Amino acid sequence: MSTPVSPARRRTILAALRRGTVPDSGLDLLAVGLERLEPTVDIELAACRGGAASFTAVRGEYGSGKTFVSRWLGERAKASGMAFAEVQISETETPLHRLETVYRRLCERLGTASDTPSAFRPVLDSWLYALEEDVLADGTVPADDPDELGRAVDALLERRLAQVGRTAPGYAAGLRGYRRALAEGEIETADGVAAWLAGQPHVAASAKRAAGVRGDIDHFLALGFLQGLLTVLRDAGHPGLVLVLDEVETLQRVRSDARSKALNALRQLLDEVDGGRFPGLYLVITGTPAFYDGRQGIALLPPLAQRLHTDFSTDPRFDNPRAPQVRLLGFDLERLVDVGGRVRDLFADGATDPDRIRRVVDDDYLRVLGGAVAGGLGGKVGVAPRVFLRKLVGDVLDRVEQFADFDPRRDYALTITDGELTGSEREAASPDDIDLEV
């Protein structure tokens, strides 16, 4: 590999690929075909760190790499100091027409470069520490007078949250209550208030009374709480948030009334982003072409369809990465060989005999294996990467390293079974198990 990779990072990436999942880190090592997006993404992220807000819609068929791109975006965001959250839209768990559930999942999935999900509580504590540091840096309050320091921190808190308090007074009150509970050593109360600020239901009434708040957040308060979270993130040293709403195409399967509300909620979010309500927010949605173009998707809400309309009738080589929608081109065989080569080299760099790994699993073999996997999935190379990489690491590379006489061209027969496929992969494959000699 051109960039040195630590043994721990290498193990994490390979373990995820062995399980058939997208790694949570190290995606820059595997990114193939995203070079065309990098300049625009970096410019938009920089603008968000400067106080702007941005939005993009990622479109791609199942298996085209939407989840990979989302986490790749998250890695780039966290490397620049921003926070990241990936929220999967779900008919039952996270319905888009109930933004309070989206906000709750956001807080549960919030991550930063230094804290894995959920980083919500560490962010709150960093924010309070930053307030105290700002007060002490002013030099007007002695560090050995906790009462005076507390009053000065409260005053600074009020100034920082003035705008949030106008639209979400409950959020500002909750932050005051959280700080006060910590200062008084009421840890149980602080835990309850933090949970309420994160949108959790069923918080003890005693904790809410202590903070001067009541009830749970609802669909209408959720946007105000998001605004408050962005303020806290910025003051805690994270100048922005990348929020990915994944699998929005699930809206096509919900009841018509819920679908209408969800599409309207999405339109409202986009309007608020454009209106400047969420400085620092980079909002990303992912969906299939059917969601963007079909009759059961955004076409049901013409104002939203107009906002997201993008012309994809031209040659994909000339797709505009600044357009409202970004099309993922998916994998062809050469890209499959490219990413396979990167994974092989990553594996070899940690192997006891790296030369043998590269010699036995050369590019010609990667091309044969990739073609065989695609053939087992109905010839659809675009849905093959996950299965290909899982077979490559778990079935081929592991065995080449462990058994000196193992030759995958002679000793390995590719088998793809129904149980190891996702729904979209299963649709592409034969209904019977497929045994292919490679």
Tens of pLDDT, residues 330-383 = 777 888 899 999 999 999 999 999 999 999 999 999 999 988 887 766 655 655
Q: Residue 68: what pLDDT?
A: 86
Is the domain of 106 the same as that of 249? yes
Give the pLDDT confidence of 225-244 residue by residue, as tens digits. 999 999 999 999 999 999 99
Is the domain of 134 the same as that of 215? yes
Q: Residue 173 pLDDT > 70, yes or no?
A: yes
Is the domain of 317 the same as that of 351? no
Answer with the one of 327, 347, 377 that is the final residue of a domain.
Answer: 327
Q: Residue 150: what pLDDT?
A: 80
pLDDT interval class at 1 (50, 70, 90): very low
**Position 15 in a domain:** no
Please state the domain count of the chain.
3
Q: Residue 436: what pLDDT?
A: 43
Angle between helices 219-235 and 99-109 (to 10 degrees): 30
Q: Which of 4-8, 193-197, 295-299, 335-339 has the highest mean pLDDT?
A: 193-197
Is the domain of 253 the same as that of 288? yes
Is the domain of 201 the same as that of 294? no
- Judging by beta carbons within 10 Å of its beta carbon (0-12, 13-18, 19+), is residue 263 exposed, middle or buried? buried
Q: 207 near 188, Cβ under 8 Å? A: yes
Extract the tokens encoding 116: 């894995």
Is the domain of 144 the same as that of 208? yes
Q: Residue 37 pLDDT > 70, yes or no?
A: yes
Is the domain of 140 the same as that of 217? yes
Per-position b or e across 128-164, b if 16+ CB within 10 A of its CB: bebbbeebeeeeebeeeeeeebbebbeebbeebbeeb
**Position 228 in a domain:** no
Is the domain of 368 the same as that of 426? yes
Answer with the one of 268, 300, 327 that is the final residue of a domain.
Answer: 327
Give the pLDDT confidence of 385-423 residue by residue, as tens digits. 888 899 999 999 999 999 999 999 999 988 877 777 776
Nearest to 268 by CA among 101, 98, 52: 98
Is the domain of 258 the same as that of 187? no
Q: Residue 374: what pLDDT?
A: 79
Distance CA(354)–CA(301), nearest Å, equals 55
Angle between helices 187-197 and 169-183 (to 10 degrees): 160
- For residue 209, the enclosing domain spans 121-222
Contacts of 151 (CB under 8 A, 6+ apart): none
Is the domain of 99 the same as that of 126? no
Angle between helices 219-235 and 256-274 (to 10 degrees): 40
Distance CA(343)–CA(396), nearest Å, equals 12
Give the pLDDT confidence of 56-114 residue by residue, as tens digits. 999 988 777 888 899 999 999 999 999 999 999 998 889 999 999 999 999 999 999 99
**Position 405 in a domain:** yes
Give the pLDDT confidence of 189-198 residue by residue, as tens digits. 999 999 999 9
Predicted TM-score (pTM) of the model is: 0.86
pLDDT interval class at 11 (50, 70, 90): very high
Is the domain of 267 the same as that of 304? yes
Q: Residue 423: what pLDDT?
A: 66
Answer with the one of 222, 254, 289 that is the final residue of a domain.
Answer: 222
Please state, rounded to an integer, the average pLDDT across all residues of the chain: 88
Q: Residue 383: what pLDDT?
A: 59
Q: Which residue has the tokens 């808190």?
A: 157
Is the domain of 154 the same as that of 218? yes
Mean pLDDT of 157-173: 81
Read off the amino acid at residue 233. Answer: L
| DSSP SS3 for 59 | strand
**Position 16 in a domain:** no
